[in-house]
Every structure is written in C-alpha cells, then in structure tokens.
C-alpha cells in the first residue's frame, strides 16, 4: 500500500487552514469563513485542533491493513527517510507513543455504537493551530481590497 494513513484517512487541518487562507487571499471571505467554521466543529472540548479527523470505520481498516501488519511502522521508519545515526531508542519510544495513541482511539471507537463516530488524530497539533491563526491574519488583512483578478 502506497498511502500512509495514520489512524485512517481524513481531512488534515493544517492544509484545510491553508485552503481557507487561499480563499481569503482571493477575496472570498464567505468560503474562508465556512471552512474555519467547519474546522471549529471538530475542536476538542479544550478547543484544540487535531492533525486530522477520520471515522472509526477508517480507523479499523487502518488497524487491520497498516498497524497489525507492521506496514505503518515500516513506512514511518523507512531507512530512506530517517536521519542518519538515529538512535533505536528514539524509534522504540515513538512506536510506544503510536501504540498508546492507537489504543486510545480503539477505546473511543469501541464505545461508539456502530463505530460511526469521528476521531481526532494527534490532537493538539501546533502546526494546525499556526495555520489556523495565519488564516485569521490573512482574513483580517485581506478585507475587500485584496481581491485579485486572474486573467
């Protein structure tokens, strides 16, 4: 499998925030606001944004095809992408963090009737918050004066 799903595929909030920035920059404030409002619906109870959201069904598929087969670890720690001389202790520590995260999501999904609930993965993620804040800054700066006409 060539896709690296990380707990199931779904919208990544840092990139969704960049899309809102684009709409603000292009002068489409309504569409940018719509995107940020949609993102706000998926904040944690503490107000945090996740890396991405998915559904329990997608999570269980990820567990079956990626985690339990070892594909997730092989992709995450492919020697082609690792820094040289990376300590094995750091890899093991990250594997434990991944397992703990996935175990928490398993618990959440097991409690859901029918498994149709959404999940938040890697919450909170500073990058998602930074891009969201950037979207608000672009929104404020753009106003109506920044509309760009594309030939």
Residue 25 reports pLDDT greater than 80: yes
Residue 51 reports pLDDT greater than 50: yes
Contacts of 10 (CB under 8 A, 6+ apart): 52, 53, 54, 55, 58, 118, 121
Indicate the pLDDT class of residue 4, thresholds 50, 70 and 90.
low
Give the Cα separation of 134 and 64 in Å (integer).
37
Indicate the pLDDT class of residue 151, thresholds 50, 70 and 90.
very low
Give the global pTM: 0.73
Q: What is the pLDDT of residue 1?
A: 43
Mean pLDDT for 119-127 is 79
Beta-bridge partners for 119:
54
Q: Which residues of 33-57 are buried (b: 16+ CB within 10 A; e: fewer)?
A: eebbeebeebbeeeeebbbbbbbbe
Indicate the pLDDT class of residue 70, thresholds 50, 70 and 90.
very high
Dihedral sign for Cα atoms in the order 33, 36, 42, 48: negative
Which position has the higher pLDDT, 68 or 2? Answer: 68
**Hunting for tokens 């489409």 — which residue is that?**
28
Classified as helix, coil or strand, 11 is coil
Give the Cα separation of 56 and 8 in Å (integer).
8
């Amino acid at each position: 499998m060539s896709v690296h799903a990380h707990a199931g595929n779904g919208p990544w909030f840092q990139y969704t925030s960049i899309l809102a920035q684009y709409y603000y920059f292009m002068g489409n404030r309504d569409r940018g606001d719509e995107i940020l409002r949609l993102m706000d619906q998926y904040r944690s109870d503490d107000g945090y944004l996740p890396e991405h959201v998915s559904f329990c069904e997608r999570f269980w598929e990820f567990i079956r095809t990626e985690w339990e087969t070892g594909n997730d670890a092989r992709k995450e720690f492919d020697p082609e992408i690792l820094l040289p001389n990376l300590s094995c202790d750091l890899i093991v520590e990250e594997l434990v963090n991944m397992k703990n995260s996935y175990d928490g999501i398993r618990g959440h999904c097991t409690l859901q009737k029918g498994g149709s609930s959404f999940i938040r993965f890697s919450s909170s993620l500073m990058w998602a918050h930074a891009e969201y804040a950037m979207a608000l800054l672009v929104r404020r700066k753009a106003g109506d004066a920044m509309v760009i006409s594309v030939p």
